[in-house]
Amino acid sequence: MALKITDSCISCGACQPECPNEAIFAGGDDYEFEGKTIPALSQDFYYIAPEKCTECKGVHDEPMCASVCPTDSCVKE
């Protein structure tokens, strides 16, 4: 499973640098996965690329994005 960012996101960007998998992208930004460019999953809010998200398992006790989000917008799908 992966986490997702809900529309209560205020686009503060606190989550992005905390992600150990570099799975969080700003709205409108495409991302790369396995050599392919994937279109942005959101145009308005930060989003999590599900192929890259591991929920921080094996690295941290809890998902880092959720632990720093001021609006609790990072939730499990």
C-alpha span between 29 and 75 (Å, rounded) = 21
* Residues 48-72: tens digit of each pLDDT: 999 999 999 999 999 999 999 999 9
pTM of the complete model:
0.93
Residues 47-62 as b or e (16 or more Cβ within 10 Å = b): bbbeebbbbbeeeeee
Instruction: Tell me what pLDDT residue 76 has.
Output: 92
* Residues 21-40: tens digit of each pLDDT: 999 999 999 999 999 999 99
- Domains within the chain, CATH numbers bracketed: 1-77 (3.30.70.20)
